[in-house]
A and B are shown apart, each in its own frame.
Chain A
Amino acid sequence: MSASPLLETRSLTVSIAGKCVCRNFDLVLDPGSCIGVLGSNGVGKTTLLHSLAGLRPVDTGEIFLGGIVLKELPRRRIAQQLGLLMQQQEDSLPATVLETALIGRHPHIDFWRWESHNDVNLARRALKLVGLDGLEQRAQTQLSGGERRRLAIATILTQDPQVFLLDEPTHQLDPHHQLALLAHFTSLSHSRERAVIMSLHDANLAARFCDQVLMLFGDGELLFGNLEEILTAENLSRLYQTTVIPVDWPGGTAYLPI
């Protein structure tokens, strides 16, 4: 029996405001894989991730989640299997840190039930993982920017989907948390049959944590494939229209824009 891939697209074309984000994009996302999405500001990384999450219509092509056409699934079923970390989060109404993390359980809890002990434990574990334990009763508005970002990550970890769509997960994080949290996501994908697609602005993080890379050029053109063939200084220079040089160091190759 061959299980269907977690997420699949067939000749997907997405555009926003008359601009093509990707054209005829074929993707098969299997458990254990981690895809980095690279591209300049405004090429549509967020748009693509939101399309994959079923939050906006696509032009042509199909998206399958667990082998079923995404747009035919009820929202709750999608949210049980697929989580989206957004770039920004609203916080105009007050809530505590623990309450915010717990809403990640929403799709898993039946209509009439309250959060179980298990749900609260999942949220507490996620908060501990992002280093926010001890701040559980703190107001979300009293957190720093980086702490809020980690709280959003704790919320998606509490949601515990099979597919993680992460929109700039490292934004606002200090280097320690960038590395620790990305390492956690890759270990989740390897050990627990999860998969990650994340947009990044740092090619070196992609080199370290991803096994596949998707480059979006902003006119519908894209490069997609294994890390080694796609992530080259030449492609990065073309992608960012800035000279990027490879720098070899004992741990591998780093890419330096100059």
Chain B
Amino acid sequence: MRERLHPLPLLSALVALTAIALCVALAVGSVPLPPHSVISVLSGNGDPLARTLVLELRLPRAITAFATGGLLALAGALMQVLLRNPLADPYILGVSGGAAVGALLSLLLGVAGFWVSGSAFVGALISMLIVFVLAHGRGGWTPTRLLLTGIVVAFGWGAAISLLLVLSDDASLRSMLFWLMGDLSYRSSGWLPLVVIITGLLICLPFARHLNVLARGETLAEALGVSVRPFTIAIYIAASLFTAVAVTEAGAIGFVGLVVPHMLRLISGSDHRTLLPGAVLLGGSLLMLADTLARSVLAPQQLPVGVVTAAIGVPLFLYLLNRARGPL
């Protein structure tokens, strides 16, 4: 019987993958740079053109992509444990719907840049609050009640999105569609999501063993010494905030949050002490690579990055699933 991969080699391999994905993201583009000039820019040298390309254009975008992918994968892993449902993803409880309505409203009003992100974030928080309060109801939280509340709220946001799309003029329609499919060209500096993902992971990691226990059911977790109620509320808030930051940064990029945690479960098992950092690294690398493809395949035409994540992720995941003999 196959033993599980030890966490250390797996995480080292994922760190290497992240480094490679970063180099590719920095080297590829309208002006391709050879690897050695990317490395010399990163070490503080290099010619001015390469410095501008790498440090001012490509690095911020690559960092945004990494942080966004990491946040989505982390939020997905948390949501799957919270709802104990393998189909859960970061958007299942309506956070992205609220963000989308906020973003589309501001696009409809013709504002851009910061205001789009700001209203997306506010929309995500409103949605998170609505679901939180309504799911409590009178009988307290159960995964099913939370799931149904979230899905129904998400339906509501979906209808609002359709309405906004119908009401919008042709000029803003295109940017709206790009936002909905996930797009990194509205990126901010990239450092804020990076700070969020690093602190988020550091906060979640000490609780990873609690997640292992909660994954086996709330009553069992309680019987094994986990204070389930405050813990589940904290997971809900953390996962929603991670999702809100990711969606604000890059729109509703699908697929990463659902599939990356499952990929790791197939490769390395379901211990969250490996799964959480692994998901951040794999989700981040996947999105960096996807974004590089999205902006270079049909350059100067840019593709929505969500289309590319699906193009890479769907076959990769189906291959892993088909090959798997272990759990799942």
Contacts and interface: CB of A to CB of B under 8 A. Distances in A.
B327 interface: yes
Contacts of B269: 95-96, 99
Contact of B223 (A53, A96, A114): A53
Contact of A100 (B216, B219, B222, B225): B216
B79 to A, nearest CB: 12
B209 interface: yes
B85 interface: yes
A92 interface: yes
A90 B216 contact: yes
- B-side interface mostly: loop
Interface string B202-244: 0000100110110111011011111100000000000000000
B84 A139 contact: no
Interface stretch (A30-38, A76-84, A208-216, A245-253): A76-84
A171 interface: no
B225 A106 contact: yes
Given A93-B81, A95-B270, A106 B2 contact: no
Given A99-B212, A103-B212, A106-B209, A89 B220 contact: yes
Contact of B1 (A55, A99, A138): A138
Nearest to A53: B223
B225 A78 contact: yes
Nearest to A98: B4
A246 to B, nearest CB: 37
Size class of the contact patch on chain A: 35 or more
A19 interface: no
A95 B224 contact: no
A136 B3 CA distance: 9
Interface string B1-33: 111100000000000000000000000000000
Contacts of B4: 96, 137
A99 B271 contact: yes
B217 A90 contact: yes
Contact of B219 (A86, A111, A140, A159): A86
Interface string A91-128: 11111100110011011010110100000000000000
Contacts of B61: none
A126 to B, nearest CB: 15
A139 B270 CA distance: 11
A197 to B, nearest CB: 14
B10 to A, nearest CB: 15
A184 interface: no
A10 interface: no
Given A109-B209, A114-B273, A138-B1, A95 B215 contact: yes
B271 A111 contact: no
B295 interface: no
B84 A93 contact: yes
Nearest to B7: A114
Contacts of B225: 75-80, 106-107
Nearest to B215: A93
Given A79-B225, A103-B212, A86 B81 contact: no
A76 B220 CA distance: 12
18 contacts: A55-B219, A55-B223, A77-B225, A86-B219, A90-B217, A93-B80, A93-B84, A94-B265, A94-B326, A95-B269, A96-B4, A99-B269, A99-B270, A99-B271, A106-B225, A111-B206, A114-B273, A137-B3
Interface of A: 50, 53, 55, 74-80, 83-84, 86, 89-96, 99-100, 103-104, 106-107, 109, 111-112, 114, 136-141, 159
Nearest 3 pairs of A and B residues by beta carbon: A94-B327, A79-B225, A107-B225
